[in-house]
Amino acid sequence: MNKVVYMDYAATTYVKPEVLEEMMPYFTEKFGNPSSFYSISRDTKMAIDLGRDRVAKALGCESSEVYFTGGGSEADNWALKGIAFAHKKKGNHIITTKIEHHAVLHACEYLEKHGFEVTYLDVDSEGFINLEDLKNAITDKTILVSIMFANNEIGTIQPIKEIGQICKERKVLFHTDAVQAVGNVHINVKELNIDLLSLAGHKIYGPKGIGALYIRKGVRIDNLVHGGGQERARRAGTENVPAIVGLGKAIELATSSIDEHAERLEKLRDKLIDGLLKVPYSRLNGPRGKNRLAGNANIIFEFIEGESILLMLDFEGVCASSGSACTSGSLDPSHVLLAIGCKHEIAHGSLRLSLGDGTTEEDVDYVINAVPPIIQRLRDMSPLWEDHLKKGAK
Ligand SMILES: *Cc1c(COP(=O)(O)O)cnc(C)c1O
């Protein structure tokens, strides 16, 4: 088999063997409906309780504040729409940023069609919001601030504690999409003044199609799915027991080794970034250092058109991305790169490589060697590069 180097952990991860092992019995012998009365159902009910306890421990909240969802997008949608409709008598104003995941941005667009007003905060050239901008944007009509913990494309980690503090002082609810942050950053929702937080299983070596929304006790929110009494009647439907078990195990593993995990990945990440920046006319997107996700590298190579770089990397066995998985296939440049000030034509030549537990130093070396000749070949075919050379020759 040809070599495959997977560098797209921000898109999804494999399921860890320990996680799968805990899940397996819940597909077969432990199949009872958790809402039923007999003893095989008690097993599944207890498994759900354990999963919830593990998520709560990872976030520093009560188990009763954790609600399982069908993934990160669902948790984001619930937070935005559930808060908006439950608080519309108080106000119709929501604040978010220009660099959120589409699960947040498109939910906001939907709310705009239903009478809500949304402020999309700008970010600076490294992707950070400005706290003064946030303070100035809050009005007496503001009901919710939704700002992501860490960005999935450029790795920027926002000053979440300060944002939470501002929201608390101004008595506005604060939601954060922490799908990328969990397992990479220490999170305690109480210390950080977070009212709602979204997470997903498949970004932390758990299964796909499962996530959770933390909802602080006392926060009023509309129910998401009407039906039975599951998830305290807020999200009805028979629970996805194997996935809940998997999420619980995955988050326990991910949060028990954050420092070692981050330290190892930061070294690999910085080696990768430094290696790729040796290519002429290349540039790093997002910040350096501790305020960048440990496994994220995002580089722009100027004078390259389209997503051809991904195709050629695929040919070399490297799985990478140009931004978020959701935008690939469309020709629009990433909204995140545009928000940090990249020009349209340049934003196309971006490459996101995200590292994870399976990444080795050998993988990093392989990519550092594979990329420069690809860039050279693409530039040789590019009219933008030709123009540039002509200008230089003048
Ligand atoms: C992956 C991701 C999501 C979506 O999660 P799903 O489980 O795929 O629905 C939301 N926000 C961020 C920041 C993500 O990286």
* Residue located nearest, by CA, to atom 3 of ligand 1: 72
> Ligand 1 center to residue 179 CA distance, Å?
6
Is residue 326 a known part of a binding site? yes
> Ligand 1 center to residue 286 CA distance, Å?
19
**What's at 239, amino acid-wise?**
E
342 catalytic residue (yes or no): no
The Cα–Cα gap between 248 and 53 comes to 8
> Ligand 1 center to residue 73 CA distance, Å?
6
pLDDT at 228 over 70: yes
The Cα–Cα gap between 379 and 394 comes to 19
- Residue whose structure tokens are 């599944």: 44
Q: pLDDT, tens digit, for every residue of 157-203?
A: 999 999 999 999 999 999 999 999 999 999 999 999 999 999 999 99
| Beta strands 282-284 and 296-301, pairing class | antiparallel
In DSSP terms, 351 is beta-bridged to: 299
* Residue located nearest, by CA, to atom 6 of ligand 1: 72
Q: Is 246 helix (H, G, I), strand (E, B) or coil?
A: helix
The backbone torsions φ and ψ at residue 282, rounded to the nearest 5 degrees and listed phi first, read: -120, 160
In angstroms, the Cα distances linking 41 to 44, 167, 183, 233, 242 are 5, 42, 31, 19, 13
Determine the average pLDDT of the residues in 341-363: 91
Q: What is the pLDDT of residue 394?
A: 58
> Residue 3 — very low, low, confident or very high, per pLDDT cuts 50/70/90?
confident
Please name which of 257, 185, 184, 198 lies closest in space to residue 9, comparing C-alpha atoms: 184
In angstroms, the Cα distances linking 47 to 39, 52, 230, 249, 277 are 13, 9, 14, 11, 48
Task: Give kind and range of the element (H or E) at residue 268.
Answer: helix 258-276
Q: pLDDT, tens digit, for every residue of 289-316?
A: 999 999 999 999 998 866 789 999 999 9
Tokens at residue 291, please?
């305020």
Can you spell out the DSSP letters for 121-168? Answer: E---TTSPPPHHHHHHH--TTEEEEE--SB-TTT-BBP-HHHHHHHHH
Mutating to test ligand 1, I would choose from 8, 9, 73, 197 the residue with most ligand atoms within 8 A of its C-beta, which is 73
> Residue 149 — very low, low, confident or very high, per pLDDT cuts 50/70/90?
very high
Is residue 72 a known part of a binding site? yes
Is residue 230 a known part of a binding site? no
Q: What is the pLDDT of residue 324?
A: 45
Q: What is the pLDDT of residue 306?
A: 60
Contact 296, 154 (CB under 8 A): yes
Give the atom of ligand 1 at the shortest distance from the alpha carbon of 325: 1
Can you spell out the DSSP letters for 57-126? Answer: HHHTS-GGGEEEESSHHHHHHHHHHHHHHHTTTT--EEEEETT--HHHHHHHHHHHHTT-EEEEE---TT
**CB-defined site of ligand 1, < 6 Å:** 71-73, 76, 101, 103, 148, 152, 177, 179-180, 200, 202-203, 211
Please name which of 5, 1, 3, 10 lies closest in space to residue 205, comparing C-alpha atoms: 10
Mutating to test ligand 1, I would choose from 96, 101, 240, 327 the residue with most ligand atoms within 8 A of its C-beta, which is 101
Please name which of 315, 305, 317 lies closest in space to residue 380, comparing C-alpha atoms: 305
In DSSP terms, 199 is beta-bridged to: 212
Which residues make Cβ contacts (< 8 Å) with residue 341, sequence separation at least 6?
125
* Residue located nearest, by CA, to atom 14 of ligand 1: 179
Q: pLDDT, tens digit, for every residue of 273-292?
A: 999 999 999 999 999 999 99
Mutating to test ligand 1, I would choose from 152, 156, 199, 293 the residue with most ligand atoms within 8 A of its C-beta, which is 152
Is residue 152 a known part of a binding site? yes
pLDDT at 332 over 80: no
pLDDT at 331 over 80: no
- Catalytic one among 108, 167, 319, 326? 326
Q: pLDDT, tens digit, for every residue of 20-60?
A: 999 999 999 999 999 998 888 999 999 999 999 999 999 99
Give the chain's mean pLDDT: 95
Is residue 180 a known part of a binding site? yes
pLDDT at 2 over 80: no
Can you spell out the DSSP letters for 277-325? Answer: TTSTTEEE-S--GGGB-TTEEEEEESS--TTHHHHHHHHTTEE-BSS-T
Q: Is 211 helix (H, G, I), strand (E, B) or coil?
A: strand
Q: Is 235 helix (H, G, I), strand (E, B) or coil?
A: strand
> Ligand 1 center to residue 137 CA distance, Å?
26
Q: pLDDT, tens digit, for every residue of 87-118?
A: 999 999 999 999 999 999 999 999 999 999 99
**What's at 340, amino acid-wise?**
I
Q: What is the pLDDT of residue 265?
A: 98
Can you spell out the DSSP letters for 340-364? Answer: TT--HHHHTTEEEEE--TT--HHHH
Which residues make Cβ contacts (< 8 Å) with residue 394, sequence separation at least 6?
none
Determine the average pLDDT of the residues in 68-79: 98
pLDDT at 124 over 90: yes
Q: What is the pLDDT of residue 348?
A: 78
The Cα–Cα gap between 322 and 329 comes to 10
Helices 241-256 and 258-276 cross at an angle (nearest 10°) of 80
> Ligand 1 center to residue 165 CA distance, Å?
25
